[in-house]
Structure 1
Amino acid sequence: MIGPVESVPVYPPMSLRGKVALVVGGYGAVGKAISETLAMAGATTLIVGPNVEQADGLAHELIQKGHIAEGFELDASNVAAIKDVSASLARRYGSIEILVNCMGFNREQKLLEVTEDAFDKVYSRTLRAGMFLSQAVATYQVASGEGGSQIHLLSVGSSHGFRNHGYSAFCAAKGGLAVLLKQHAAELAPYGITVNGVAPGRVRTEKNEKTLEAISTFRKAIADIPLGRLATPEDVAGAVYFFASSLSRFVTGQILYVDGGLTTST
């Protein structure tokens, strides 16, 4: 005799309940908003970065609000550490369905002043970190056979230069990551793993709030933005949320510019 069929909970497309999200650099201004958004959507949110106190602190805040979160230490410029931490988390949680790479680093130097040391630091903390974070997490996503998603934080500098700034290393690293994620998307598609990028324009954060208090500075900052304001961390988090959810299950290898129309106008 066949017994009653056990009911399986069906969650709405935007729900991330039952998913494990690894947010690398998840306690910075934008990373924090992303961690909070994914946790509110129901994901078990693992916040990692070189400052374990900040990672733990944010995780504690989320737990106090009734979410599931935990903080861990990771220096993403260390490939061996990436592999070790990813393996440990995969064993502990059983899977890592969602990777959000918020890593990035900039050392502003004009073209004629760029040093090898600065260029290599930007590369190791941005492009190389993205490469091996993707590889490490993909290892477990492929093995699970359940698919997954990977989202990389880019910048409008992924495809545009900056006037009056020395961003050679930054643009090279983010631009390289923009092409790299497309290659990863092509290779991982047969396994049901999507890989996409979110490229913010100018984002208003606590770090630049003081500077933007001056009306002239604020007007200059938004002068080229059709929507007439700066992005918020929550604007960026919303785009990441879309790529992490099942609503984007047929979207891969794409870059979503969260820039208020900056890159669409001249």
Structure 2
Amino acid sequence: MTMQRVDMQPQHAMSLLGKVALVVGGYGAIGTTISETLANAGATSIVAGRSGDRARALATELSDKGFSVHGVELDACDVSAVRDLSASLKQQYGSIDILVNCVGSNKEQTLLEVTEEAFDEVYSRTLRAGMFLSQAVAAHQVAAGMGGSQIHLLSVRSSLGFRNRGYSAFCAAKGGLAVLLKQHATELAPYGITVNGIAPGAVRTHKSDKAIDATTFQRATADVPLGRLATPADVAGAVHFLASALSRFVTGQILYVDGGVTACR
């Protein structure tokens, strides 16, 4: 049997110094915190999204704090644009060590009301986008021969239905992505590339705080064993772990950041 030597450096296990992280959807309510968390760990964060202005504005804000962050415009539904950006980043930075896919969409319609247009839009912006983001980045990671990590943001709704809500398109797209990343994990494992998913429950953001009254909030937390909603920092912490050396033997997994909701199902 051939034994592989693994050099342990626990004191630096969470450091991302020298790594390049592409965070697609990196200026959203959760994506912003992810972009900052990875940059704070030492990575160069590339914030990408459909609004180049928002991506560059966040990059400027975080750069002013002393982080290495750059903003770029990217429509993740445009496969040619995804491939072009991946090639450009590889040429400019030498590698794309970390991919964080924060993109997704939802059109809430009950089963009997789902339209072809809405279903196709959610599929295109969620499952299809995740497929070709992973492919484009993997092509450069494989060619570089230095391993890497890919992390997809899912939802507890990737494995659970949503009672009294019209989530057919969303659950189908996120559930498909949950299985897709497992397949990618098996294909990319020989190259030292890990592929994992993070499935949050409801996440408390500034936007949701404005929309939720006390009664709604109480109902939302009633079934959460830890008694609260997730925060963007909770999700970003899980991303940081899966991007770090601590998780180098973790692949094809889905980490539920849900306060224990799925433990009760």
- What TM-score, normalized to structure 2? 0.95
Partner residue in 1 for 2:149? 149
Contact 1:14 1:246 in 2 (8 A): yes
Letter paired with 1:187: E
Residue 233 (str. 1) matches residue 197 (str. 2): no
Q: Does 1:215 align with 2:222?
A: no
Please state how far the C-alpha of 1:211 moved relative to its aligned partner: 2.5
**Deviation of 1:73 (Å):** 0.4
Identity of aligned residues (%): 71
Task: Give the aligned partner of residue 4 of structure 1.
Answer: none
CA distance in 2, matches of 1:75, 1:95: 21
Taking structure 1 as reference, are residues 46 and 215 closer, same or farther at Cα in structure 2, changes over 3 Å only? Answer: same
Q: Distance in 2 between matches of 1:119 and 1:215?
A: 33
Match of 2:246 in 1: 247
Deviations 1:49-98 (A, max 9, x none): 00011100111111111110100000001111111111111111111000
Compared CA separation, residues 101 and 33, structure 1 to 2 (3 A): same
- Cα deviation digits, residues 175-203 of structure 1 (max 9, x gap): 00000000000000000000000000010
The 2-side partners of 1:235 and 1:177 are apart by: 21
- SS of alignment partner, residue 210 of structure 1: helix
Q: What does residue 137 of structure 2 align with?
A: 137
- 5 Å-filtered alignment, 1:104-253, equals 104-212=104-212, 214-253=213-252
Residue 258, structure 1, aligned to residue 253, structure 2: no
**Alignment partner of 1:195: what SS?**
strand
Distance, in Å, in 2 between the alignment partners of 1:11 and 1:35 is 23
Structure 2 gap segments, 5+ residues each: 1-8
Q: Matched residues in 1 for 2:214 and 2:27: separation? A: 29
**Aligned partner of 1:49: which letter?**
G
Match of 2:12, SS state, is coil
CA–CA distance in structure 2, aligned partners of residues 206 and 45 of structure 1: 23
AA paired with 1:178? A
- SS of the equivalent of 1:86 reads helix
Q: Tell me which residue corresponds to 1:6.
A: none
CA distance, structure 2, for counterparts of residue 88 and residue 145 of structure 1 = 18
C-alpha deviations, 1:211-264, integer Å up to 9, x for none?
Answer: 32x221111010110000000000000000000000000000000000000111
Greater CA drift, 82-91 or 173-182:
82-91
Contact 1:231 1:259 in 2 (8 A): yes
Measured in 2, the distance between the counterparts of 1:30 and 1:109 equals 24
Following superposition, the deviation at residue 10 of structure 1 comes to 10
Describe the SS at the equivalent of 2:202: coil
Partners in 2 of 1:65 and 1:81 — Cα distance?
A: 30
- Structure 1 Cα separation of the partners of residues 10 and 60 of structure 2: 28
- Is 1:47 aligned with 2:55? no
Gaps of 5+ in 1: 1-8
SS of 1:235 mapped into structure 2: helix
- 1:11, CA displacement in angstroms? 7.0
**Corresponding residue number in structure 2 for 1:25:** 25
Q: Give the letter aligned to residue 203 of structure 1.
A: V
Superposition deviation, residue 136 in structure 1: 0.2
Alpha-carbon distance in structure 2 between the residues aligned to 1:140 and 1:10: 28
Structure 1 distance, partners of 2:92, 2:166, is 43
